[in-house]
């Protein structure tokens, strides 16, 4: 059945976007719910991918979807852990202090 496998990627992307929107609203419970939905979809995708393949156009779409998911994930991480961004402000030449 063609088209079904790509629908899993689309659903994961949609859940990823909802997760990003929840993170922007600082709704961390919503983020966790969406993360759980993504995990279920990913497991279903893995199972389905054992018996189905994407066509050439679907592979191109999959690549675009995966890039958007990765961008969403990066934004979510930045919202969830702003202190990581602060670490980038420190130069590598800063000596480490040992206590």
Confidence at 11, pLDDT banded by 50, 70, 90: very high
- Express each pLDDT in 33-80 by its tens digit: 999 999 999 999 999 999 999 999 999 999 999 999 999 999 999 998
Single pTM value for the model: 0.78
For residue 84, give every residue at least 6 positions away whose Cβ sits within 8 Å of its Cβ, in sequence order, or none. Answer: 77, 78
Q: 20 by DSSP, 3-state: which?
A: helix
The class that CATH gives domain 4-82 is mainly alpha
Q: What is the pLDDT of residue 49?
A: 94
The full set of domain ranges for the chain reads: 4-82
Confidence at 99, pLDDT banded by 50, 70, 90: very low
| Cα separation values, 27 from 34, 36, 41, 68, 80, Å | 11, 14, 21, 21, 10
| Cα separation values, 90 from 9, 63, 71, 78, 82, Å | 38, 34, 24, 17, 14
Confidence at 83, pLDDT banded by 50, 70, 90: low
Q: What percent of the chain has pLDDT over 70?
A: 80
Tell me which of 97 and 13 has the higher pLDDT. Answer: 13
Distance of CA 73 to the CA centre of its chain: 4
Alpha-carbon dihedral 89, 92, 93, 98, rounded to 10 degrees: 100
């Amino acid at each position: 059945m063609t088209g079904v496998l790509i629908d899993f990627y689309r659903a994961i992307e949609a859940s990823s976007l909802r997760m990003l929107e929840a993170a922007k609203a600082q709704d961390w419970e919503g983020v966790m719910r969406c993360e759980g939905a993504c995990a279920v979809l990913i497991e279903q995708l893995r199972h389905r991918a054992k018996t189905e393949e994407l066509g050439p156009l679907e592979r191109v779409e999959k690549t675009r979807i995966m890039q958007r998911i990765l961008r969403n994930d990066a934004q979510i991480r930045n919202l969830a852990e702003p202190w990581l961004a602060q670490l980038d402000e420190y130069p590598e030449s800063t000596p480490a202090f040992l206590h």
